């Protein structure tokens, strides 16, 4: 099952050419150690051999990263969207995908914000998109003294809560 390893640089070159063997890519658990000479394994996993592969991976301090088609997609994205053709760009994109389950936005991109912060940003965008509250149309929520937003009978806060079915984090 654990055939001879590829060097990570060679494996990513195969992916760039579309010649990557099918299976799951196994690399050291610590992604910070990945470099051109890192031993990389493409393993064909089935229900019958999954447990033994996972046991051996644990002994080697390796873990499954991503499936071969996704490795090819990540490498293709570096070539087509970022217009780069280097090992450094490929491995940065692979690390980013492995860590965040997303494509690398650009070389040197910072880590994305935590999910809670992303949600707050999206909430803020929606809240702001509701526009100004009208002083001539009061919010119809019981006890609310704010004005309704355009195309609604509710203020921004109550409209947000009606749409998302949770408390609005904003009061401005």
Task: Name the DSSP letter for residue 31.
Answer: G
Domain residue ranges of the chain, discontinuous segments joined by +: 6-100, 115-164
Q: Alpha-carbon distance 152 to 158, whole Å?
A: 10
CB 98, CB 66: distance < 8 Å: yes
pLDDT tens for residues 30-64?
999 999 999 999 998 877 788 889 999 999 999 98
Measured between alpha carbons, how far is 132 from 135 in angstroms, rounded to an integer? 9
Query: From the first residue on, what is the mean pLDDT of each consecutive set of 10 residues in the chain (172 residues)?
Result: 87 94 94 95 84 91 93 94 92 95 94 93 97 96 96 97 97 90
């Amino acid at each position: 099952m654990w055939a001879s390893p590829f060097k990570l640089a060679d494996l990513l070159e195969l992916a760039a050419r579309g010649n990557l063997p099918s299976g799951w890519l196994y690399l050291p658990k610590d992604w910070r150690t990945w470099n051109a000479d890192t031993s990389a394994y493409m393993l064909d996993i089935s229900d019958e051999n999954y447990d033994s592969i996972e046991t051996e991976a644990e002994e080697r301090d390796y873990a499954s990263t991503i499936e071969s088609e996704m490795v090819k997609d990540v490498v293709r994205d570096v070539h087509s969207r970022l217009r780069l053709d280097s090992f450094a760009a490929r491995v940065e994109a692979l690390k980013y995908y492995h860590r965040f389950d997303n494509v690398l936005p650009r070389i040197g991109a910072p880590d994305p914000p935590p999910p809670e912060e992303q949600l707050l940003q999206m909430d803020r965008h929606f809240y702001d998109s509701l526009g100004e509250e009208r002083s001539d149309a009061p919010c119809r929520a019981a006890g609310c003294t704010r004005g309704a937003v355009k195309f609604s009978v509710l203020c921004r806060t109550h409209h947000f809560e009606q749409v998302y079915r949770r408390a609005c984090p904003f009061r401005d």
